[in-house]
Chains A and B, each alone.
Chain A
Amino acid sequence: MQLSNKPETEICRTDIPQMLEISDVVQEGKSQKSFFFRRPMECRPGQFIMVWLPGVDEKPMAVSYWRKNEFAFTSQAIGRFTNALDNLKKNDKLGIRGPYGNSFSLKDDACVVAGGIGISSVSTLIGKLKNPLVIYGARSRQHLIYLKRFSGKNMILATDDGSYGRKGFTTGILDEALSSNSKIKVVYTCGPEIMMKKVFDICKLHDIECEASVERMMKCSFGICGACMVNDRIVCADGPVFNASQLSKLSEFGRFARIKTGRKVTLKEYHGLHR
């Protein structure tokens, strides 16, 4: 009898968190910190890891730095889990598994639009792209991070309150840039979904490619529990990066999300319930 009798490699698959020592904590902004680990991480821009703080929670985090033998994620202290992370020091341990998900396509003549802590999901992308235009906005000066890291980049900064850079939203700046700069062929974006939906709409108007990194409540991170579904797409496994043709089929994108119970709510309600 021969029916795949030899064990296939997939059957040995595991996704156990590895307890890793934090090798460094970098204060990136008033409430944002990067947590570094001295471990190699095979990763592509846009992928994420699952971070377990024993006794508290486990959540997805974008890989925001990776170099030879080192990687990091950046967290903004806004909820129970991220506030607990904020108290961690060098040599404390976190359980890490991953990386998970797909990645950005890395095309030339790109523009990157980031909003708020969404910058962490596109930070390694910005490092890989050839001279991209970066449009980066946040609520106020204290919410802007990585400014030194990206000081050599072609970057337009904006704040909602005008405390730094231009006053206004990234989407307005993108519209201007696409109207005046015909060189841009693709827009990569990560940030609040309302912003990304506008970015997607603006790209459609200008007939330019677009890829967005979508965030949803996650449990398994490998595509079996169904917690993070947007229409028929599984964000953790099919995404988190979706291109314009995929996004155009997702009627829930920019409008609805599912909360922990699986109930579909408006994005506004979702963000109020899940911080």
Chain B
Amino acid sequence: MLQTNLCNIKLKNPTILASGILGVTKESVGRVGKAGAGAVTLKSLCHEERQGNPNPAMFGYEGGFINAVGLPGQGIDSAVKDFVRLDNMGIPVIGSIYGYRIEQFGEVAKKMASLKPAMIEIDISCPHMDYGKPYYADPGLTAKITKTVKKNSGRIPVSIKLSPNVYDIKEIAHAAEKAGADAITAINTASGMVIDIDARKPILANKIGGISGPALKPIAVRCVYEIYETVKIPIIGTGGVTYGKDAIEMIMAGAACVGIGTGIYYRGIGVFKKVCGEMQDWMKKNNLKSLNEIRGCAHK
């Protein structure tokens, strides 16, 4: 009932662990797979080993969640040794990659491709990361990175993760599609800040962070809706999906699949099974056999 096809990858259901939540180790991937996710995205890796930001790096506040973890990671070379391969995990694994310079996106993609992930996701959109240039806000740079990664990924499909912190997400999505992206992941977190009035300081060590969870959902739904009107490639709708009804909403906006990250904070690692169960209940009640019957229906 929930089986989904994403760039010819067969998913048992449309829920995908979003990048940055768990997904640091091979064994955590296995665990999320057992918890019922349709696919798992690894935490983003780049060309070098990174510590990330000091603590506090994340917390839930009233109405949402904020983080500035700062992309810690062992680096692609160490990860290649750690993971060995990604095509034998019993679940499709999406390798998330980034670099500081455009060539580095290509280098990391090549090494990631050697692990045989089901898909490569390009992270150009971390809101609290100094890439040197705001790749995510410039259609020309987005296209260049997409081309570079595609050139280095062989036959592995490539999705590019976009930021809501832009003037017009449609033109970015359009540029990515034209440059050869196979899918679009929408969206990364929205830039935000929480100040503790007793400490009189921002709580995050990085001061500014990315908002996720329920607060992000209407923004994500709007972005998916706009992107769906602009491109033909599939969209992984990510942002605030916590309950089955959120996933249905995202699919109605046009998403092929839904990313779930912060949902784990609210409902535990069992969130994948819960969301799928709630989606099926809703589908039965509405006499639906396939999600294709409602995909993008909000546009009609």
Bound together, the chains give a CA A93 to CA B281 distance in angstroms of: 49
> With A3-B281, A5-B245, A95-B203 in contact, do A14 and B62 touch (Cβ < 8 Å)?
yes
Closest chain A residue to B213 by CB distance? Answer: A11
> With A219-B58, A223-B269 in contact, do A262 and B25 touch (Cβ < 8 Å)?
yes
Question: Which of B58, B69, B194, B282 counts the most chain A CB atoms within 10 A?
Answer: B58
Query: Which of B48-56, B139-147, B224-232 participates in binding chain A?
Result: B48-56
> With A11-B214, A17-B203, A224-B22 in contact, do A263 and B59 touch (Cβ < 8 Å)?
no
| Least CB distance, A80 to chain B, in whole angstroms | 10
A219 touches B25 (CB 8 A): no
Within 8 A of A (CB), among B197-217: 198-199, 201, 203, 205, 214
Question: Which of B24, B30, B56, B201 counts the most chain A CB atoms within 10 A?
Answer: B56
Bound together, the chains give a CA A12 to CA B30 distance in angstroms of: 29
A232 touches B27 (CB 8 A): yes
A262 touches B72 (CB 8 A): yes
Query: Which of B6-14, B163-171, B182-190, B260-268 participates in binding chain A?
Result: B260-268
Bound together, the chains give a CA A59 to CA B69 distance in angstroms of: 14
A13 touches B25 (CB 8 A): no
B56 is contacted by which of A58, A262, A263 (Cβ under 8 Å)?
Answer: A58
A15 touches B60 (CB 8 A): yes
B243 is contacted by which of A3, A97, A234, A262 (Cβ under 8 Å)?
Answer: A3
A261 touches B50 (CB 8 A): yes
Within 8 A of A (CB), among B230-267: 242-245, 248, 261-262, 264-267
A260 touches B55 (CB 8 A): no
Query: Which of A22-30, A49-57, A174-182, A201-209 participates in binding chain B?
Result: A49-57
A154 close to B (CB within 8 Å): no
Bound together, the chains give a CA A1 to CA B281 distance in angstroms of: 10
Bound together, the chains give a CA A258 to CA B73 distance in angstroms of: 11
Which residues from B are CB-within-8-Å of A119?
A: none
B residues contacting the other copy or chain, number (CB 8 A): 55
Which residues from A are CB-within-8-Å of B268?
A: 223
B58 touches A54 (CB 8 A): no
A17 touches B196 (CB 8 A): yes
B78 close to A (CB within 8 Å): yes
Residues of B in contact with A (beta carbons under 8 Å apart): 21-25, 27-28, 30-31, 43, 49-52, 54-62, 69, 72-75, 78, 82, 194, 196, 198-199, 201, 203, 205, 214, 242-245, 248, 261-262, 264-269, 278, 281-282, 285
Residues of A in contact with B (beta carbons under 8 Å apart): 1-5, 10-17, 19, 50, 52, 54-55, 57-59, 93, 95, 97, 219-220, 222-227, 229, 231-232, 234, 258, 260-264
Sample of 12 more A-B contacts, CB < 8 Å, known A95-B199, A219-B69, A234-B28: A2-B285, A3-B248, A10-B266, A14-B59, A52-B56, A95-B203, A224-B58, A227-B24, A229-B22, A232-B31, A234-B22, A262-B25
Name 18 A/B residue pairs within 8 A (Cβ), A-sorted: A3-B248, A14-B59, A15-B60, A16-B60, A19-B198, A52-B55, A52-B56, A55-B201, A58-B56, A93-B199, A222-B265, A225-B22, A225-B69, A226-B25, A227-B72, A232-B30, A261-B72, A262-B24
